[in-house]
């Protein structure tokens, strides 16, 4: 479990700047869950979208709630126009909040663009666009109206749903609402303020799950929640207890799936983790988070519903399914294994996929597969940090930095060298103790000047070596294909 303390959740000055921002955060992913099993509210109109929300305590005024609204759109529903060498859709999104009598309280909105490489990419009906908006709201009951408009086609869809904002100024132990995620990606502490990224909270990027539906290959439920009003005293034992349980919709009793004793670092904490639900039968469930503070004897609970659908072990796999498997395998599969995979039919490939991860599970007696989880986390991080494009952040794993991060993990130390008249921007990644090698380093150069760093020299076994790298840095004459 990820659990962190924080002192100012909202970084309020940064948060409030979103209310005037013209551009929304965009995260585009390819997902293929059954659209008929949604638990989120769905917009009505020609533009298909789902929405969800989560409420947290506002740092500037504990009585208020900081409400984040999440949208999920089908990219294929929008009209695209040529922009340079790409295709772009312009989307207007707005959130209007009113009280129960219909009196406006606040609103936030703006225009953002979604980009596709070509018309072939646009034909992918499973491609989803995610974005988020946020408002600071007073405690009480209200209604949110979410409107999405395609600026080119003028098509529009909307949805209205109730929002309940608690009074977070109460002194007792309290949990925020739960936000589900397709993944949770820890962010480096030195990454700076994410002024354009509402998905980053307390150094975690939560890829919001507006559906709460699991099944097929997706058997891990990620979630984010915050704990308020822990009793903290540096001079005493500062442990607190967290129990994560899953209960079926028709049962009051929950089955604990993760129990931990965590250490307080202050009066607040973040719970950002995931639980494996591969053993759950198809049906409706509730995820429960129970927090207990031994210092005060107080307890708090948050819960949210989700659904598990039957595994879709289809007789055929799409070309994109197969390519996605190849991409994930790329750096960790032996050539002869890949040849075996390529010779199999759809059922065989599904079986190969399951067995591949099972063979690498360091704790086969548990429901967790730490090897698989860490590999997918590294791939997601590589896509977020090292992708070349801004809109479609799915190619970072292919870059040199992405490959090194996935294969070797996060470096022990990074030295950054900005552009000078004598050379190109560079980064040196040091690893203090690679297994069987000791300390090694990797040198990356931004040869194009557009932020894509190529690996030009390393002391790691089996990696590219160039004894003249220092001279070539000065001259800018590296041959990447050498």
Where are the chain's structural domains? 2-308, 319-383, 411-475
Contact call for residues 301 and 175 (beta carbons, < 8 A): yes
Please determine, for residue 316, whether its predicted confidence score (pLDDT) is greater than 90: no
d(CA 7, CA 11): 9
Neighbours of 233 (CB within 10 A): 9
Residue with tokens 């008249």: 421
In percent, the amount of the chain with pLDDT more than 70 equals 80
In degrees to the nearest 10, what's the CA dihedral of 447, 428, 404, 363? -160
pLDDT in tens, 410-431: 999 988 887 655 567 888 899 9
Among the residues of 344-415, which ranges form H helices? 346-359, 370-386, 400-408
pLDDT value of position 43:
62
Distances (CA, A) of 35 to 49, 53, 409: 10, 19, 35
Distances (CA, A) of 74 to 30, 197, 288: 10, 21, 30
Beta bridge partners of 87: 82, 116
Look at residue 220 and tell me whether its pLDDT is greater than 90.
Answer: no
Nearest to 278 by CA among 350, 369, 386: 369
Weakest-pLDDT range from 213-217, 228-232, 396-400:
213-217
Query: Could you tell me which residues come within 8 angstroms of residue 474 by beta carbon, excluding any fewer than 6 positions away?
Result: 422, 423
365, burial (CB in 10 Å: exposed 0-12, middle 13-18, buried 19+): exposed
Specify which of 34-38, 137-141, 245-249, 394-398 reaches the highest per-range mean pLDDT: 137-141
Q: Which of 114-118, 216-220, 449-453 has the highest mean pLDDT?
A: 114-118
Contacts of residue 253, defined as CB under 8 A and 6 or more positions apart, other chains included, come to: 247
Pairing status of strand 179-186 against strand 204-208: antiparallel
* pLDDT surpasses 90 at 172: yes
Q: Is the pLDDT of residue 108 over 50?
A: yes
CA distance 19 to 274: 30
Q: End-to-end CA distance of the chain, in Å?
A: 43
Is residue 287 within 8 A of residue 178, CB to CB? The reply is yes
Pick the more confident residue, 18 or 76.
76
One DSSP character per residue, 150-163 reads ETTT--EEEEEEEE
Return the structure tokens found at 283: 């049906």
In this structure, what DSSP letter does residue 18 have? G
C-alpha to C-alpha distance for 34 and 375, rounded to whole angstroms? 25
pLDDT, tens digit (0-9, with 9 covering 90-100), for 258-292: 889 999 999 999 999 998 887 788 888 999 999 99
Summarised one tens digit per residue, pLDDT across range 337-365 is 999 999 988 888 888 988 898 899 888 87
Q: Is 414 helix (H, G, I), strand (E, B) or coil?
A: strand
**In the chain, helix, strand, coil percent, each to 5?**
20, 40, 40
- Comparing C-alpha atoms, which of 137, 175, 165 is closest to residue 270? 175
Cα separation, 29 vs 32, in Å, equals 10
Contacts of 166 (CB under 8 A, 6+ apart): 55, 65, 139, 174
Angle at 177 between CA 174 and CA 182, to 5 degrees: 135
Q: How far is CA 379 from CA 132, 145, 212, 235, in A?
A: 23, 36, 22, 41
Angstrom distance (rounded) from CA 359 to CA 363? 10
> What's the distance, CA 192 to chain centroid?
18
Encoded tokens for 35? 């659209």
Task: Work out the pLDDT band at 479, boundaries 50, 70, 90.
Answer: very low
- What does DSSP say about strands 220-228 and 49-57: parallel, antiparallel, or unpaired? unpaired
The contacts of residue 382 (CB under 8 Å, 6+ apart) are 396, 397, 399, 401, 402, 403, 405, 406
Q: At what angle do helices 400-408 and 370-386 cross, to 10 degrees?
A: 160
Which CATH architecture best describes the domain 2-308?
Sandwich (2.60)
Q: At 97, is the secondary structure helix, strand, or coil? A: strand
What would the DSSP string read from start to end of 31-48?
----GGG--SEE-BSSS-
For the stretch 54-69, pLDDT in tens is 999 998 898 999 999 9
Q: Answer yes or no: is pLDDT of 6 > 70.
A: no
Question: Which of 72-76, 152-156, 370-374, 449-453 shows the lowest mean pLDDT across its residues?
Answer: 449-453
pLDDT, the chain, mean: 80
Span 101-129, average pLDDT:
85
Q: Which helix (H) or strand (E) holds 328?
A: helix 319-329
């Amino acid at each position: 479990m990820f659990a962190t303390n924080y002192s100012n959740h909202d970084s309020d000055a940064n948060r409030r700047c979103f209310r005037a921002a013209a551009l929304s955060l965009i995260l585009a992913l390819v997902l293929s869950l059954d659209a008929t099993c949604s638990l989120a509210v769905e917009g009505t109109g020609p533009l298909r979208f789902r929405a969800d929300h989560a409420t947290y305590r506002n740092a500037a005024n504990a009585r208020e709630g900081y409400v984040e609204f999440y949208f999920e759109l089908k990219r294929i529903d929008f009209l695209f126009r040529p922009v340079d060498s790409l295709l772009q859709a312009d989307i207007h999104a707005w959130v209007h909040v009113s009280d129960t009598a219909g009196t406006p309280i606040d609103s936030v909105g703006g225009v953002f663009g979604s980009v596709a490489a070509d018309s072939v990419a646009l034909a992918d009906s499973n491609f989803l666009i995610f974005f988020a908006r946020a408002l600071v709201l007073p405690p009480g009951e209200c209604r949110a109206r979410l409107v999405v408009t395609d600026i080119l086609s003028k098509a529009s869809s909307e949805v209205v749903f109730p929002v309940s904002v608690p009074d977070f100024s109460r002194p007792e132990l309290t949990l925020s609402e739960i936000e589900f995620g397709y993944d949770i990606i820890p962010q480096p502490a030195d990454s700076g303020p994410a002024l354009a990224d509402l998905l980053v909270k307390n150094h975690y990027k939560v890829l919001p799950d507006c559906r709460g539906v699991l099944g097929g290959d997706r058997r891990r439920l990620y979630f984010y929640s915050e704990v308020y009003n822990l009793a903290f005293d540096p001079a005493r034992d500062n442990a607190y207890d967290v129990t994560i349980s899953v209960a079926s919709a028709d049962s009051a009793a929950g089955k604990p799936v993760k129990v931990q004793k965590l250490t307080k670092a202050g009066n607040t904490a973040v719970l950002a983790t995931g639980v494996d639900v591969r053993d759950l039968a198809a049906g409706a469930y509730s995820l429960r988070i129970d927090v207990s503070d031994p210092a005060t004897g107080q307890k708090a609970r948050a819960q949210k519903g989700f659904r598990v659908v039957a595994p879709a072990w289809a007789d055929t796999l799409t070309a994109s399914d197969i390519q996605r498997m190849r991409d994930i395998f790329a750096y960790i599969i032996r050539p002869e294994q890949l040849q075996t995979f390529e010779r199999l039919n759809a059922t065989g490939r599904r079986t190969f996929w399951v067995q591949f991860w099972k063979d690498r599970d360091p704790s086969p007696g548990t429901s967790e597969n730490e090897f698989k989880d860490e590999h997918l986390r590294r791939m997601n991080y590589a896509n977020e940090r090292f992708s070349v494009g801004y809109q479609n952040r799915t190619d970072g794993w292919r870059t040199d930095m992405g490959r090194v991060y996935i294969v070797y993990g996060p470096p022990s130390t990074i030295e950054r060298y900005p552009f000078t008249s004598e050379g190109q921007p560079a980064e040196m990644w040091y690893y203090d103790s690679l297994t069987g090698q000791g300390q090694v380093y990797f040198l990356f150069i931004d040869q194009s000047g557009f932020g894509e760093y190529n690996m030009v020299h390393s002391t790691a076994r089996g990696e590219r070596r160039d004894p003249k790298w220092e001279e070539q840095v000065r001259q800018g004459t590296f041959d990447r294909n050498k």
